[in-house]
Amino acid sequence: MRAFAKPLSLAGSALILAQMADMASASDAAARLTVTEQRNALVECKGDLGRRGWPRLQATYVETPWGGQTVMRLLPHGSVSVEDAAWINACADERLGRGGPAGAAPAQAFRGACPAHAPVIYGGAIYCFRN
């Protein structure tokens, strides 16, 4: 009987440790954000800023002890400047609970006499082309 007590107690201890590790990874998994959630936050912040066009996104895998997290970032491209991209990323982090406030939105880039909502012919004599 004593010959089985020590192996059984070791097996029980290992089982308890495995359950604790599984619970820790489950709580980490609940705190992780899906790529879809991150993309939606980036696109919403880009829309709030009034920048049109397809977003150029970058995904980076950040390894942690119990798995990993993919972090999405918006890159400058087309109508999105470097300052716009930094603000959009900060805004998305704020919406996802990863960072502090995004701060004031950057100013609209100068487009000459054409406002952001201008059609191709604006004011009867000015041609406004969008990128």
pLDDT (tens digit per residue) in 54-112? 889 999 988 876 677 889 999 998 888 899 999 999 999 999 988 777 777 777 655 55
State the residue range of the domain holding 23.
1-31
Average pLDDT in the chain: 74
What total number of domains does the chain contain?
2
* 3 lies in the same domain as 39: no
* 86 lies in the same domain as 62: yes
* 66 lies in the same domain as 87: yes
**Banded model confidence at residue 131, pLDDT cuts 50, 70, 90:** very low
* 23 lies in the same domain as 40: no
What burial class does residue 92 get, using C-beta atoms within 10 Å of its C-beta: 0-12 exposed, 13-18 middle, 19+ buried? Answer: buried
* 39 lies in the same domain as 13: no
Position 104 scores a pLDDT of: 77
